[in-house]
Amino acid sequence: MLTLLRETRIYILIISIALFGALTLFTMDRLVMPMYTNYNTGITVPDVTHLSLEEAQELLTSKGFRHEIVAQRAHDAFPPNYVTDQTPDPEVIVKPNRKVYLTVNTSTRPLITVPDVINLSQRNAEIQLQNFGLRVGNISYESSRFRSTVLRQSVRPGANVERGTVVDLVVSDGLGSRMVELPDIRGMRVAEGQQQLRINGLRIGSIRFEVTRNQEPNIILDYDPKDSEVFEGTTIDLVVSEAPDRVEEMETGAIDLEEQDVDSSEEEEDTEEES
């Protein structure tokens, strides 16, 4: 009897603890936590970009938000001390008293060390200047043998300038400033003609092949331009001989001369028998 009574008390205690725990969890979930987190209550984040820092602070405070400046960056599209970015974004619904993080346009621009882009290709020079926070300005061209190579830059390398400073470039057009003789390379082999052109400071352009039956292959038949003198670095296009195409002969098949002789002799015998 005592054992049964003890077991009953244990069961009652366990059930009571379970009920108390469930009641506590329900109370925390339905009453305490919603009150603490303002459950089902939210306000819309105002747009404070394009406002001065003072105006943005007043607006956020009036709407029940806190704020913090997390970054100051130079931005050409905004006046100094204006908000350029915010987190959370405008029109997002958040809890009251949420902190809004602001990025503000600095009144002083950071100084940038200008890189040396002389002797780089125009494309690489533009990319490097942009990576340093500089802007590429006017591109002018001068005669030089190395096409699309930067010859000069308007701001000297190593100078400390503001971010966004414009740098003008002078780029080579690939032509020399002096006139050179254009040799007559007709009748030369391609390798020999190319070497002769390079010796004279000229460049090889396109090569067009032309089928010729009375000329061995890889011989220069013509070139363009044909001026006796051209600017150093001028591109010369070539017309080169090519062997005749033998596809037709391959498609018709091999000709058996012995078989032709046999056939012709058989025809002669038939003609004699008929006569």
Q: What is the pLDDT of residue 238?
A: 94
- If asked whether residues 62 and 80 sit together in one domain, one would say yes
Tell whether 50 is covered by a domain.
yes
Residue with tokens 């009652």: 12
Q: Which residue has the higher pLDDT, 76 or 183?
A: 183
Tell whether 6 is covered by a domain.
no
Q: What is the pLDDT of residues 33-69, one digit of tens each?
A: 656 555 556 789 999 998 999 999 999 999 999 999 9
Rounded CA gap, 161 and 118, in Å?
Answer: 18
Q: What is the pLDDT of residue 38?
A: 53
- If asked whether residues 168 and 190 sit together in one domain, one would say no
8 A C-beta contact, residue 166 and residue 132: no
Q: Which of 60, 76, 105 is the last residue before a domain boundary?
A: 105
Tell whether 92 is covered by a domain.
yes
Parent domain of 163: 111-172
Q: Residue 185: which residues within 8 A CB-CB, separation 6 or more?
A: 192, 193, 196, 197, 220, 223, 238
Q: What is the pLDDT of residue 40?
A: 56
- If asked whether residues 198 and 232 sit together in one domain, one would say yes
Q: What is the pLDDT of residues 168-197, one digit of tens each?
A: 999 988 776 678 889 999 999 999 999 999
Tell whether 255 is covered by a domain.
no
Torsion-angle region of residue 174: left (phi > 0), alpha (psi -120 to 50) or beta?
A: left
Rounded CA gap, 67 and 56, in Å?
Answer: 9
Q: What is the pLDDT of residues 77-117, one digit of tens each?
A: 788 889 999 999 998 888 888 999 999 988 776 788 999 99
- If asked whether residues 168 and 210 sit together in one domain, one would say no
Report the domain count for the chain.
3
Tell whether 253 is covered by a domain.
no
- If asked whether residues 84 and 124 sit together in one domain, one would say no
Q: Which of 105, 123, 139 is the last residue before a domain boundary?
A: 105
Tell whether 264 is covered by a domain.
no
Tell whether 18 is covered by a domain.
no
CATH code (residue 147): 3.30.10.20
pTM higher than 0.85 for the full model?
no
Among the listed residues 96, 94, 70, 95, the one whose alpha carbon sits nearest the alpha carbon of residue 83? 70
pLDDT at 162 over 90: no
Tell whether 16 is covered by a domain.
no
Among the listed residues 232, 222, 139, the one whose alpha carbon sits nearest the alpha carbon of residue 184? 222
Q: Which of 172, 203, 225 is the last residue before a domain boundary?
A: 172
Q: What is the pLDDT of residue 214?
A: 84
Q: What is the pLDDT of residues 16-43, one digit of tens each?
A: 788 887 788 777 767 666 565 555 567 8
